Amino acid sequence: MPGRIRVISGVTVAALALLFAALGVGSLTAGDGLRVIGRDAGPQVVATAGLYLALSDMDAQVANALVMGEQYAQQRGAAVARYERRRSEASQALLKAFELAGDDAATRRTVQSVLDGLGRYERLAGQALLLNEQARHAPGAPPDNVVGSYRQAPDLMRSVLLPQAYNLTLESGTIVRRTYDEKNAMVPLLRTAVLLAGLLALGCLIWLQ
């Protein structure tokens, strides 16, 4: 009888150890998933989605300002003011995305590339807006020197900046989805382990009574 009690006691201890181990793994898994979704990739999705919208509207507002002419100075000023707000939002979103990238070198390089491209775009757009204001032209197509100064800006936006911003959002979204799927797949296994270990420990304790 004492030998049997020792065996059952050992099984009980092992079952309890398995139970606590399963609970510990579950806690770590959930914590890691929450960190990725709540602190890393999740906020990065929000930041980069805002970046894409800000960049798109920046280009639209510059185009609006260039065709309004002197007769619509108030509306042109509003378009330029909105461009400046969107430019500030894009810069803040990029800085946030760079910070959230952490040690991800590839994401940091992409963010840096967008920052560099945004700087070039701002110079081109700023020069075009300045020439446009000096031209004091009628509503409609701006003078050739304004068009020539601005021509590279929308090309840069559409062929470089917007695709890179989209890729940043897509990559972050993929990380969130993969993390969710991986952590979600662990739940049934951990639940089963906890249930079996708990039942085994309970059965052993009842037997010892």
Place 101 in a pLDDT band, splitting at 50, 70 and 90. confident
Residue 25: Cβ-neighbour burial (10 angstroms; 0-12, 13-18, 19+): middle
84, 108, 132 from 148: Cα distances, Å: 22, 33, 11
pLDDT of residue 124: 95
Amino acid identity, residue 155?
D
Which of 16-30, 62-76, 78-92, 160-174 tops mean pLDDT? 78-92
Query: When comparing pLDDT for 15 and 113, which is higher?
Result: 113
Q: Does residue 140 contact residue 67 with C-beta atoms inside 8 Å? A: yes
pLDDT of residue 99: 76
Place 33 in a pLDDT band, splitting at 50, 70 and 90. very low
Which of 18-27, 61-70, 87-96, 116-125 tops mean pLDDT? 116-125
Instruction: Write down all domains in the chain, each with its CATH number in brackets.
Output: 2-208 (1.20.1420)
The pLDDT tens digits of the residues spanning 47-56 come to 566 788 899 9
Q: Does residue 149 contact residue 128 with C-beta atoms inside 8 Å? A: yes
pLDDT of residue 92: 87
Query: When comparing pLDDT for 50 and 25, which is higher?
Result: 50
pLDDT of residue 140: 82
Q: Which of 32-46, 68-82, 88-102, 167-181 has the lowest mean pLDDT?
A: 32-46
